[in-house]
Amino acid sequence: METPDSIVRVDTEVLVGISSYDAYVYEYLNVENGKKYVGSHLGEFGDGYWHSSTNIEFIDLFSGMSPMFEYKILAVGSYEDMQNLESKIHKDNNVVKNPMYYNLGVAPSAFKVPVRQNVMNDFVLQKIHAGDFNVSEPWNKSTLLERGGDSLISALQVRYEDNPKITEIRNLISAKGDASKCGRILMVELGGGKHLIINGNSTLLAVAPLPFVTKLRVAIIPKSFIDQHDINESELRYIGQLMNPEQEIVTTPTSEDDLIKTLQQFYVDSDKKIKFNCDYNLNYIYSILKCSPQKAGAIARKAKKQYHEDVKLKSGSKVIDYRSDSNPTNHQKVLDRVEKLKKQKEGAVVIHGGTGAPKTLAIEALDAFVENPKAHEFIILIHHDTDENYRKWETKNRSVFKNRISGMMRLSQPINGVLDENGIKRDGVVRTFRILEMDHEESDIS
């Protein structure tokens, strides 16, 4: 690929081993004075895009054909993640006022993060573990268990399902003879004498019927601290989840189901901008479970799958699977439609395939053009098989596929001697193609 003369070096090392991505963040470095420009782009490197700067100084240097810029791909990933990374770099370096940057403005982030993970994990959680919020005098169990409209105590739902291990916790406390191994009930001061429990609900339910437990230790985060650091409800829930990793203390760890529900809430509350497998969500999972990247990715995929399955279920529909290995009956429907199209349009070449493998589909289409030099009409029948394949096709793969096929068409010579609908021979007929789709959904009501 040719590069502009102003670029002396291109660093794409980050792309090694990566087969596909939606967007990337790039950086220009002026090797003469160290000045930088950072941007992001929806697409893959090599699609002809170089920058979108409106800084006249940068544009003049870039188009001046004097070699002076090093170009580097900093990261690749989803469009939302790359927007957020670009925005973070801009903010961290104060690019608007920083004389070492050509950027004239700070790029907006794709979404406002619901939880500032670093602040909660590295600051608030550390203060909790250090005992900064511990209260010396234990609280009465009866006070902590009070609920109702006039109650001064309420509880935040950190776990999204009833804790199945409450009986186990109760048995452990009974065996010990007291609640000394229980963690402190963590509360937030709301003002007016009211408090919100964000960790310890399971412990309270476990000790509720135990007559020998009348008091429990507590820790209270002051309202002034919450207000000062602008901590929101999602962040309080995150703290509660962080307080429950696998450990020896009598408690129950945050489950995968809790995290799945959390990711689904992020997706809905952000108007679908916080994608299930984005870096933000993967870091959220890892910060709580301390698991492998593979497991974090599996949880994110499960959250996404369950969400879309629930949406389908509520709408009374489901995605149609046309793959020959998993659903030969539906695959036969594809083959039947291929034959029907051939009969409807005599002389047309019809190929079919799933959009889950767009490169394979493109190769098959190009092979069909090469193998049928006298054919002038090509029909490409596609099926998506999953919602994810459909989304990728609509947002990216459709345009990439069409561009590749159109490019091949432009290289083809017009065909002579083609019979039209009236049986008249036509010369100079240009080859064309069209894309047809199998139905993506069907009723789920049997």
Beta bridge partners of 24: 41, 76
The position carrying tokens 């660093």 is: 11
Beta strands 215-216 and 139-140 are antiparallel
Q: How far apart are CA 73 and CA 32, in angstroms?
A: 20
Contacts of 215 (CB under 8 A, 6+ apart): 138, 139, 140, 141
The per-residue pLDDT for range 184-225, each reduced to its tens digit, is 999 999 999 999 999 888 888 888 999 999 999 999 999 999
The per-residue pLDDT for range 67-81, each reduced to its tens digit, is 999 999 999 988 888
Report whether 281 contacts 239 (CB < 8 A): no
pLDDT at 21: 87
pLDDT at 443: 67
The per-residue pLDDT for range 131-180, each reduced to its tens digit, is 999 999 999 999 999 887 788 998 876 554 445 567 878 888 888 888 88
Measured from the Cβ of residue 351, the count of other Cβ atoms closer than 10 Å reads 17
The DSSP code for 324 is T
Lookup: tokens for 205: 């339910």
pLDDT at 212: 93
| Burial label, 202 (beta-carbon count in 10 A; 0-12, 13-18, 19+) | buried
Question: Pick from 117, 109, 126, 102: which is nearest to 51 by CA?
Answer: 102
Q: For the chain, which ranges sit under pLDDT 70?
A: 1, 157-165, 244-254, 312-316, 418, 420-423, 443-446
Q: Is 129 left (phi over 0), alpha (psi -120 to 50) or beta?
A: alpha
Q: Classify each residue of 287-298 as buried b or exposed e, where b means 16 or more C-beta atoms within 10 Å of its C-beta.
A: bbbeeeeeebbe
Report whether 327 contacts 445 (CB < 8 A): no
> Alpha carbon of 45 to those of 2, 10, 79, 278, 342: distances in Å?
12, 11, 13, 20, 39
Question: Pick from 395, 402, 358: which is nearest to 80 by CA?
Answer: 395
pLDDT at 201: 85
Sign of the C-alpha dihedral computed for residues 341, 343, 348 and 349 taken in this order: positive
Whole-model pTM: value is: 0.54
Grouping H, G, I as helix, E, B as strand and the rest as coil, residue 242 is helix
Q: How far apart are CA 348 and CA 360, in angstroms?
A: 21
Report whether 110 contacts 221 (CB < 8 A): no
Q: How far apart are CA 152 and CA 220, in angstroms?
A: 14
Q: Classify each residue of 89-99 as buried b or exposed e, where b means 16 or more C-beta atoms within 10 Å of its C-beta.
A: bbeebebeeee
